Amino acid sequence: MGNSGCDLEKHADVFEHSHRWCGGFVWDYKDKALAHPILGYGYGGDFGPGDQPGTMCCNGIANPDGVPHEQMSALKAAFQPLKAEHLGSGRLRLQNRNSFLDLNAYIFSWKVTRDGETLASGEETLSCPPRETVEWSAPLPAGCEEKKPGKLCLSIAFSLRFATNWASAGHKVAVAQWTLADHPAQEPVSTGALWRKEANSWTVHAVGCRYTVSCETGDLTGFSAPDGTPLLDSPLRPNFWRVPTDADLGFLGIVMGKDQDLDEWGRISFGLDPLPALVTVEGDILTVENNLLGGATLIRRYRPTVAGLALEFCFTGGVQMPRRVGLQAEFPATFDKMEWLGLGPQDTYAGRTFGSIFGQYEKTVASQDEHMRPQEHGLKLGTRKLKLTGTDGHSLVVTGLNDFATAAWPYTLEQLHKARHVAELPHTAAHTTLLLDAAQNGLGDAFVKLTDTYKLKPGTPYCMHLVLTAR
């Protein structure tokens, strides 16, 4: 229900290896909501008393009009007719999971990339009878596995050689990817510039950009491009709130209409409760310390470097854990193009990355997988670089020295939280909201408890090391 689809590939593995299971069906293909003259689609009492409670019948993998939700990509990957295993050094073992088709019915393509840039690629025809295996070795380019900055990946795909009655020629039926080597970029050196106190803020310059941090909150309140254009509509501030998915609410939460409830983490994230901060400056490093609920701590460190403003963010949880740990900020709505180097092209969450490929992608901020009841969506895991570009040519660039997660929405976190129908979200964006996550819970289902594997854990540090700059 809603944003879900965790560990679907594990179900497929059970079907493959257990003699007691022969397969499974998607219970509902489309969300069962009806066209509504005001709300777009209506559900759960929108047509009068006696309807089903909440979103209980909005449990498809597509909208009522057939537009797929992102979990359909996860389902496709789980049921793809190929199982692939990397044996090392680019050698693969491929299992044909078809019952009747040989693998030569498909076009087999491969490529080797470093940070999404293609180093080598090709197409071949592989023959393998149904339910059998074959081994294949990728012709890796010479020297590609040397210790160069970036993530070196081998990707494969199988596409239909001929059109069928259900898809056109070239349709991809299976994909897989492996990391051959990974050498993240080194932390950029300091410029030596010192923070300058101005009224209630600290200011510093790096690579032509001006950065301002509040003395009271430790939030990044000002960020100007080299030509002096301010980029932020709101501070870049801590965020611990995930707009509840149907799985977060659970069956009783849906029935009782708990989607509008806010816990302490939500109140902090919406600015309803204060977040006391200790802000100190030593040399070129500005440090912000926050003591949070249940013994949790957050430390942020800012430092000007030759690549931009370095931001170290590290949260360590206490007794009471949030579902999300990260940062949020609003930018002008003109920032409507998102490019990222990371997992894609579909949305990815802990437990729902199977079938995603590390590479370079782009999308408009307006293109969102919105569910019948608006909720958390749009996350991109494994991000190494993000670029948010405005129609005036200005852009924000966030580079990760480790993996981070990101999302961009054409509405604020608070607007998403308050909406119970997509039609209640702003029709014209006033802001673009950017979210940068160090960690977030995985996805469950309203009837299946989320496994502890994909929950944030007390005492575990969740950190991201970012460099912010503008062009």
Quick: pLDDT tens for 252-285.
Answer: 888 788 888 999 999 999 999 999 999 999 999 9
Q: What is the DSSP letter of 141?
A: P
Residue 389 phi, psi (nearest 5): -115, 140
> Is 374 a residue whose pLDDT tops 70?
yes
Which run of H or of E encompasses 466? Answer: strand 461-470
* DSSP secondary structure string for all residues of 329-344: EEEETTEEEEEEEEEE
Question: What is the DSSP-derived secondary structure letter of residue 438?
Answer: E
Confidence of residue 449 (pLDDT cuts 50, 70, 90): low
Asked if omega into 345 is within 30° of 0 (cis), the reply is yes
The residue with tokens 């976190």 is: 413
45 versus 36: which is more confidently predicted? 36
Q: Which CA distances in Å does 320 have to 263, 274, 290? A: 11, 18, 15
pLDDT band at 17 (very low <50, low <70, confident <90, very high): confident
Strand partners, 156: 110, 176
Tokens (6 digits) for 404: 């981070």
- What DSSP state is assigned to residue 407? E
pLDDT band per the 50, 70, 90 thresholds, residue 52: low
pLDDT over threshold 90, residue 437: yes
Query: What pLDDT is attached to residue 275?
Result: 94
Rounded Cα distance, 364 and 200, in Å: 36
The packing angle between helices 71-78 and 8-17, to 10°, is 20
Of 425, 226, 231, the C-alpha closest to 308 is: 226
Q: Which residue did the predictor score with more confidence, 470 or 1?
A: 470
Global pTM reads 0.95
Q: What is the pLDDT of residue 425?
A: 94
Is residue 247 helix, strand or coil? helix
Mean pLDDT of the chain: 93
* Lowest-pLDDT range of 200-204, 226-230, 323-327, 369-373: 369-373
- pLDDT, position 58: 87
Q: Is 87 helix (H, G, I), strand (E, B) or coil?
A: strand
